[in-house]
Each structure stands twice: as C-alpha cells, then as structure tokens.
Amino acid sequence: MITYILTGGTIGSSIGADGVARPDADISVFAGEDAAIRIPYNILSENLDAAHLNLLIKETADVIREGESEGIIITHGSDTLQYTAAILDIIFGGADIPIVLVAANYVLTDPRSNGKANLYFAQRFIKEKRGRGVFVCYKNPKEAVKIHCGGKLMPHEAFSDKIKSVNDKIYGYYKDDTDKSTAEYIQLGNIEEKEAYDGSIPCLDEKPGSILRLEPYPGMSYPEIGEGVKAVLLGSFHSGTIAVNDGLKSFLDKAHQRGIAVWLCGITREGTEYETISSYKKMGIHPVYDVSPVYAYCMLWLRGFFPA
C-alpha cells in the first residue's frame, strides 16, 4: 500500500468558473484502489509556514510509525516544494521507506500538465523499491522524469517552474517512452547515507523571523537584527563570495555582541579559494559548504545550527 498525503498546490487544484485555480481537486482517482489518503491541510504552497510544516511532519511520522505503507507520496505546490523536501529530508532522510514529493506545473486537467507523469513515476519508484529516504519526482519541460534527493534541490530561477539539484546531481531518472510502463529507469546514486530515523517528531519554531536570511547585491545595506532572530544566513554570489566592507563588519559586530551565529552558504570546497573567504572565517562567519541555500536555511530553521 502507498499512502498519499495531500497538501494542495497546483497538483491538487481545479479551475473554477472564474478561471482561478483553487486547491480543491480530488486526486484520489490517480492513487489506485489500495492507496490510503490523508489530508493534513489544503493550501496553495506560497502560503506554507511552520504551522503547516509541523502538521506534515507529524502526519509523515505517523505513517512511518504505523508501518503499513511501502512508501509515501506527498502532493505539494511547486513554489515551496524545495523547502518542504529539505525539512523532510533532514528529519526522515534515514527512513526505511521512500517518501516522494510530487508537484505539477499546471492543474491535472490541463493537457500541458506534468502532474500525471510525476504521480505515475513516483508510484513506480516506490513499487520498484528503488530507494529509501526522501525524494522528489519531477519532469521539467523537454526533459526526462527525474528523481531528486530531497535535500539537494536548488531555489527556483525567476519565471521558471523547473526543478534542479545542486550541480545537477540527481538520484536517477526514467527515460522518456511513448509507453510509460516500459520506460527504463537509470540509477545514478548521488545520495548520502543518513542515520536511521529514530521515530522523533521535531517541531519548527512557529514564531516568524527566527532566521534572518540575506542575499547580496552591489551597494548592499544591512538591516537591523530583530529581537527574535536566533541565527543569520548570508547568501553569496556564484563564486561563494560577498563584499567585505564596513557595512558587513558593523553588522557582524552587532550579531556577535548578541551571541547570534552568522552562516554563509553558496560555497564549494572544490572551487577557487578567494581571499575574501579567508576573511569571512577570521570575522567569525561560519561557511556552509556544498549544500543548497534552501537546505542551509531549513537546517538552521529546524535545528538552529549547521553541523560541522
């Protein structure tokens, strides 16, 4: 049996008489007769917050604890798919069953939608016992259906619904075929071994603003650090750098005075070690290497720190 956890999004929406998509579609018809259906909430994913994620974490943990499902498929909106996948990967990456998130670029009744393909191959991935842990099954336009590791997704590019992994390293893919049932699966790997899931149900801090996340730009002005901030995550330019200037130094002084750790993501150990990166370390910034900015943010949001 496969358990479906429905959370809304485009894949779970229908088009009303006014032409507006609303998360109210019944996709159980695509699940199969032996499926179990759970609906912890039903939203468009741009409205995702900690309260919703805590409901999903508990729902997922309950399914695993009950031990009756060979896998879980979570239907989700594409806007914040990366964040949910990262949170679930941190918690359930060592689960004994596959947990596969799927989304759609258009509602399922639209002939342009990739939702049916994403659902079909997520089902196949589970039935064929291709892996365990957290994955995302998604087909970009004119590409094969790819299986991504849940914690490896990059943020969306502007104006694009394409799903990409860090350095394009995916877990596997299904070769396109006119007959889906004969589509060949290609296993690539690219997954880290994780500690077995221990049955715990951690909760995200539901008070907004606990993580201050900043992206760099020329002429950047640093904001004041709010009272509820517990950690700061700095993004970087593509080379893993940000400007070292008086604004940064003043911002860091204020953070350190309050005992707030500052982390920098977007850095790879395989790239050029620019002199500015050495400066960051001397200034008390903690580099986070070779992970998606989404994953770095979610780790801080959930755990409050990033493991060395």
Residue 278 is part of a domain; what is its CATH number? 3.40.50.40
Regarding whether 71 and 36 lie in a shared domain, the answer is: yes
Q: Are 180 and 198 in contact, with CB atoms under 8 Å apart?
A: no
Residue 143 maps to a domain: yes
Regarding whether 158 and 75 lie in a shared domain, the answer is: yes
| Average predicted confidence (pLDDT) for the chain | 90
**Count of CA atoms in the C-beta half-sphere (13 A) of 252:** 19
- Distance in angstroms (rounded) separating the CA atoms of residues 186 and 149: 15
Could you read off the pLDDT of 151-161 as tens digits, one per residue? Answer: 999 999 889 98
SS3 assignment, position 92: helix
Residue 192 maps to a domain: no
Regarding whether 76 and 33 lie in a shared domain, the answer is: yes
Q: With 70 as the cut, is the pLDDT of residue 276 above it?
A: no
Regarding whether 222 and 89 lie in a shared domain, the answer is: no
Query: Which has more confidence, 248 or 306?
Result: 248
Q: Which H or E element spans position 185?
A: strand 185-187
Regarding whether 156 and 90 lie in a shared domain, the answer is: yes
Residue 182 is part of a domain; what is its CATH number? 3.40.50.1170
pLDDT of residue 19: 61
| Residue range of the domain that includes 167 | 2-187
Query: Which has more confidence, 286 or 269?
Result: 286
Contacts of 286 (CB under 8 A, 6+ apart): 261, 262, 263, 264, 306
> pLDDT confidence of 3, banded at 50, 70, 90?
very high
Regarding whether 172 and 233 lie in a shared domain, the answer is: no
Residue 101 maps to a domain: yes
Regarding whether 179 and 266 lie in a shared domain, the answer is: no
200: amino acid identity, one letter: S
Regarding whether 176 and 87 lie in a shared domain, the answer is: yes
pLDDT of residue 177: 80
Regarding whether 219 and 180 lie in a shared domain, the answer is: no
Regarding whether 240 and 165 lie in a shared domain, the answer is: no
Residue 202 maps to a domain: no
Count of structural domains within the chain:
2
- Distance in angstroms (rounded) separating the CA atoms of residues 84 and 103: 12
pTM comes to 0.93
Could you read off the pLDDT of 159-203 as tens digits, one per residue? Answer: 998 999 999 999 999 998 878 888 999 999 877 788 899 999 999
Tokens of 266: 């977007």
SS3 assignment, position 52: helix
Residue 165 maps to a domain: yes
